[in-house]
Structure 1
Amino acid sequence: MIATPDEMPSFGFRTAEDDVAATREQITTFIANRVEDADADGVVVCLSGGIDSSVTAALAVEALGPERVRGLVLPARKDDSAAQFDAHLVADRLDITATTVHLAPMLDAFEDTVAPAVSPEADKLARGNALARMRATTAYYAANSRNLLVCGTTNRTEWLLGYFTKYGDGAADIRPLADRYKTEVRALAAHLDVPRDIREKPPSAGLWRDQTDAEELGAPYSLIDCILTKLVDEDLGVEGAAAELGVSVDRVERYADMHLAAKHKRDAVPTPSTGDSDTGLFHELESQF
């Protein structure tokens, strides 16, 4: 019998009340320590109106205080108004300053000049990735000008599948949610009292009109998280994970392939010395501190 996504057990997920409270404390401590270690004045968070950025901003405020958290709302389409409203709703609840920067003119200029010169055919995915990198550029400009760290919002599910844009939303100085599955982020959102409408809206990267995560990924996060837990955390292999969960081998294989194909996104950029032992180049300098 094949299990449905709603029947999937939450294998290994820290979603019980005590687990969520402990996770909340661990992440806020992580944020505070990283900001202190970097001698930064705070963080900047890109607010999309979605659950991941809302949870990230709430945890940053808990760790640092609202005065040290800067929000950026970066719409690029006219139909982004609902997302903008939700982003500012979260900012108002958290009492943080959130600046809206409309990126449509920048994206239009890119499509009028760079895109046709590089590739004569329009590519929706390439355009979406370009938008994500424009958002990253804006976030780093804000961070550089105010001595802030860019606080990424990518969760563990997205990280393992490579469901983020390299040097776009994947670009960050810290990633507080990157070892928490989407299922855990939802539990954190409820614990942090993120507005219900934001918690329940269909997840979307917002790179083009009507885009949804479930449509692109081929399954809801409730199923994908269970598959990844068995594949990555418990190392059961494709057939073992399929048998354990009562789903088809083909379905598990899809996410195994995505995970392997995205390795380059998670790894540091290769250099000729990649894999060599530490050369000790900076040891003398470091010993002085």
Structure 2
Amino acid sequence: MQTEKIVNHIVDWLKSYATNAKVNGFVVGISGGIDSAVTSTLCAMTGMDVLCIEMPIHQAESHVSRAQEHILQLKKRFNNVRDTRADLTPVFEEFKTEVNLDGEQAIVDMALANTRARLRMTTLYYYAGLQKLLVAGTGNKVEDFGVGFYTKYGDGGVDLSPIADLLKSEVYHIGEFVQVPESIMKAAPSDGLFGDARSDEDQIGASYPELEWAMKMDDEGKTANDFTGRKQEVFTIYKRFNNANKHKMIPIPICEVPTNLK
């Protein structure tokens, strides 16, 4: 992996896109995780305006502290980086008073988790609109095109995706090169949508290295029957998520009306 060349390529791509779009720079939601840390650093390296936003909603303290550590480090390194904080906990709590929360608890919890992501997306676009910025997505290749591990119109609602062609392992290589804080590099990946410290692996049932392997096997046309034991289990998990989340990875279906009916 030619890490430095990849970093330069992404930074040049970001700067070119923003310049052609005639905007001032980028807004990035900072979660305390590796993906948002790498994305915000790459945006900062363009020299353009970068607004980092913390958007806690009953957030685990470990996530908050890592996010704040990263923002502080980024502001020391780049004078084009600013930050703000939007505590969305009261907004989220008010939302819950206005909707029906009846139903199976696990389903309600998932719907509310996705609502958190959508409140954050709305906040990012609010600031983007005010300050003529682009919303930079933080999804990596495994999340965006493998298991679809993101919220549709939540963290999936972005203007451009600088790291979406990088596997999670490659994001870590980039993170080390661009000097992401050690606390983030070592932290277990987590979407932070449930107000606790549960990891992505806890939710998915497989680690990112395992999912990267399964994604490669799927691309090669393998099936679950080609494997046994843990490999078969991981491949089955990958395919279950991939199939269930196809609707996130393909264009919105359009009902095409025949010309003779118009």
Describe the shift of the 1:210–1:80 C-alpha distance in structure 2 as closer, same or farther (beyond 3 A): closer
Deviates more, 1:173-182 or 1:264-273: 264-273
Alignment of 1:1-289 (within 5 A): 14=1, 19-63=2-46, 65=47, 68-77=49-58, 79-95=59-75, 96-116=81-101, 119=102, 122=105, 123-159=108-144, 160-208=146-194, 209-232=196-219, 234-240=220-226, 242=227, 247-273=230-256
In 1, Cα distance between equivalents of 2:140 and 2:122: 20
Supply the distance in 2 between the matched residues of 1:51 and 1:97 (Cα, whole angstroms).
19
Root mean square deviation, CA, Å: 2.0
Determine the C-alpha separation between the residues in 1 that align with 2:96 and 2:202: 26
How far apart are residue 247 of structure 1 and its match?
A: 4.7
List alignment gaps of at least 5 residues for structure 2.
76-80
With the length of structure 1 as denominator, give the TM-score of the two structures. Answer: 0.81
| CA displacement, residues 173-214 of structure 1 (integer Å, 9 cap, x when unaligned) | 001111111111111111111111110111110011232101
2:224 & 2:103 partners in 1: Cα distance?
40
How far 1:236 sits from its partner (Å)?
A: 3.6
What amino acid is the match of 1:148?
L
Contact 1:88 1:98 in 2 (8 A): no
Shift of 1:155: 0.6
Q: 1:115 to 1:138 in 2, by over 3 A?
A: farther
Cα drift, residue 138 of structure 1: 0.3
Q: Deviations over 1:60-106 (max 9, x none)?
A: 1112x2x51101100011x5333222222222222221111111101
Q: Percent identity?
A: 30
CA distance in 2, matches of 1:164, 1:204: 11
How many pairs align? Answer: 249
Q: Provide the TM-score with structure 2 as the length reference.
A: 0.88
Report how far residue 21 of structure 1 moved.
1.6
Q: Secondary structure at the match of 1:248?
A: helix
Distance in structure 2 (CA, Å) of the matches to 1:176 and 1:144:
20
Structure 1: 5+ residue stretches without partners: 1-13, 277-289
